[in-house]
Chains A and B, each alone.
Chain A
Amino acid sequence: MSVFRVAIHIVPRRGILDPQGKAVADSLHSLGFSAVRDVHVGRHVVIELDASDRSGADAAARTMCERLLANPVTEDFEIATVSTL
């Protein structure tokens, strides 16, 4: 077993109104960042866990996302990085 650090991105599903993202986009526009087309605000979760290998850590994190970390109705997730500690 080794210790892995898994970084997970969870974002509102495309097509579902994201008022927080819209408010941030509006603020960026008012600061002059007129090139900004769209903003989505989500969560970044970092988990340290024991696993036999990298794919085991990845699979465990996916299961955690499906069961708790992401809402299957409204959110999408992606495993951003899996690194050894």
Chain B
Amino acid sequence: MRFGIVTFPGSNCDYDAYRAVVDGLDEDAVYLWHKDHDLQGSDVVILPGGFSYGDYLRPGAIGRFSPIMQEVIAHAGRGGPVMGICNGFQIACEAGLLPGALLRNASLMFVCEPTRLRVENNDSMFTSEFSRGEILTIPIAHGDGRYTADADTLDRLEGEGQVILRYAGGPADADEWWSPNGAQRAIAGIVNDGGNVLGMMPHPERAIDQLLGSADGLGIFRSVLAQVGA
């Protein structure tokens, strides 16, 4: 199976995603330059983390107009899997592939640390290798990760099982919606209505080996492989 990893000017997790696919999954990966119009036969497209276009205007606001995004949006429209990770999540929201927006962290601080995530729904293309309620350790590294949407959208996401990952395990006095960035309802990862577009702020590609502190992120990639490659 082939993963296409889009490199925007300012992407900095494209290489990590490449290693996750090639070393972690032993599958094929290609880089897709943002100015190209060819997905090169990719079965899965990854919009990686980083700071596309320097986060000018808003994170993801300019990147979503990169030429290759036309092909990525068409791929998603055909039901093709798209994984938006961190800046990729922001780009996917700006592009309308996912509802809502990612705003400045409530603390105003860039947060770079391992986080605990709860798998809220394992009946998804991206979480099928986990069990429901399983706690994962996957790092975050962002300044703009506060997931925000209107109440109707949040209710719909919850009702349809589209909230697949939620922050868990805050400080002892934390309430049930604790998150490291102030995300509404502690949302860390969602999928679109069709279930084929993932947006998550944590970086699964940075958690593919115990040497990195956790290999839990590999399960995200394995899930896609199991669901799409089968």
Q: Which residues of A line the B interface, CB within 8 A? A: 12, 16-17, 19-20, 23, 43, 68-69, 71, 73-74
Q: B148 to A73, Cβ gap below 8 A?
A: yes
B174 at the interface (CB under 8 A from A): no
A68 partner, pick from B57, B93, B105, B148, beta carbons under 8 A:
B57
Cβ contact within 8 Å between A17 and B61: no
CA distance A23 to B109 in the complex (A): 12
Is the pair A68, B103 in contact by a Cβ cutoff of 8 Å? no
Interface pair A17/B101, CB less than 8 Å apart: no
**Mask: chain B, 90-113; 1 = CB below 8 Å from A; 0 = not:** 000110000111011111100000
Q: Within 8 Å CB of B58, what residues of A? A: 71
Given contacts A16-B148, A17-B182, A19-B182, contact A71 B108 (CB under 8 A): no
Interface residue ranges, B against A (CB under 8 Å): 57-58, 61, 65, 93-94, 99-101, 103-108, 146, 148-150, 182
Please give, as numbers and ranges, the residues of chain B lying within 8 Å of A73 by CB-CB distance. 93, 99-101, 148-150
Known: A16-B148, A17-B182. A71 touches B61 (CB 8 A): yes
Chain A residue contacts of B99, Cβ below 8 A: 73
A12, A17, A19, A69: the one contacting B57 at CB < 8 Å is A69
Q: How far is the CA of A74 from the CA of B61 in the complex (A)?
A: 13
Contacts of B104 in A (CB 8 A): 19-20
> What are 9 residue pairs bridging A and B, where the CB atoms are less than 8 Å apart in the complex?
A12-B103, A16-B148, A17-B182, A19-B105, A43-B57, A68-B57, A71-B61, A73-B150, A74-B148
Q: Which of A16, A23, A43 contacts B103 (CB 8 A)?
A: A16
The answer to whether B107 touches A71 (Cβ under 8 A) is no
CB within 8 Å for A19 and B106 given contacts A68-B61, A71-B61, A74-B148: yes
